[in-house]
Chains A and B, each alone.
Chain A
Amino acid sequence: MTELTRIDLGLRRRSLIGYTLGMAAYTFVIVALYPTFKGDTGLDQFTEGNSTVAALFGASGSLTTSSGWLNANLYANFVPLVVLLLAIGYGASCLAGQNEDGTLGGMTTLPLSRRRIVAQKLVALCLTTVPVAVVTAIFVAVGRGFELSVDSAHLSGITIGVILLGVDFGAFAMLIGAVTGSRSVALGVASSVAAASYLISSLAPAVHWINPARYASLFFYAVGDGQLVDGLSASAVAVLIAVAVVLGVATVVAFERLDVR
Chain B
Amino acid sequence: MTIVEVDGLTRRFGSRRGVTDVSFVIAAGEVFGFLGPNGAGKSTTIRLLLGLYRADSGRMQVFGLDPVADGVEIHRRVGYLPGELALYPRLTGQRHLDCVARIRGLTDFTYRDELVERFGAELDSPVHTLSKGNRQKIGLVLAFMHKPELLVLDEPTAGLDPLLQEEFIKLVRETAADGRTVFLSSHELDEVQRLVDRLAIIKDGRMIVTDTIEHLRRKAPRTVELHFDHPVDDTRFDGLDGVRVLDSTPDRITLALTAPIGPLLRVAADLEPVDMTARAADLDELFLDYYRKDRESKVSDVD
Contacts and interface: CB of A to CB of B under 8 A. Distances in A.
A11 B128 CA distance: 13
B52 A261 contact: yes
Contacts, number: 61
B12 interface: no
A111 B53 contact: no
Given A101-B86, A102-B84, A105-B52, A3 B99 contact: yes
* Residue from B88, B91, B102 with most neighbouring chain A CB atoms (10 Å): B88
A34 B106 CA distance: 57
Interface string A102-113: 110110111111
Nearest to B53: A259
Interface size class of chain A, counting residues whose CB lies under 8 Å from the partner chain: 20 to 34
Contacts of B76: 111
Interface in A1-35: 3, 7, 10-11
Nearest to B102: A3
Interface residues of B, number: 26
Interface of B: 47, 50, 52-54, 71-73, 75-76, 78, 80, 82, 84-88, 90-91, 99-100, 102-104, 142
Interface of A: 3, 7, 10-11, 101-103, 105-106, 108-114, 257, 259-261
A7 B99 contact: yes
A102 B52 contact: no
A115 to B, nearest CB: 10
A109 B90 contact: no
A109 B151 CA distance: 12
B87 A106 contact: yes
* Residue from A102, A108, A110 with most neighbouring chain B CB atoms (10 Å): A110
A158 B110 CA distance: 52
9 contacts: A11-B91, A101-B86, A102-B86, A103-B87, A106-B85, A110-B100, A111-B75, A257-B54, A259-B53
B109 to A, nearest CB: 16
A140 to B, nearest CB: 34
A148 to B, nearest CB: 40
Contact of B103 (A112, A114, A260): A112
A118 to B, nearest CB: 14
A114 B54 CA distance: 14
Contacts of A257: 54
A11 B90 contact: yes
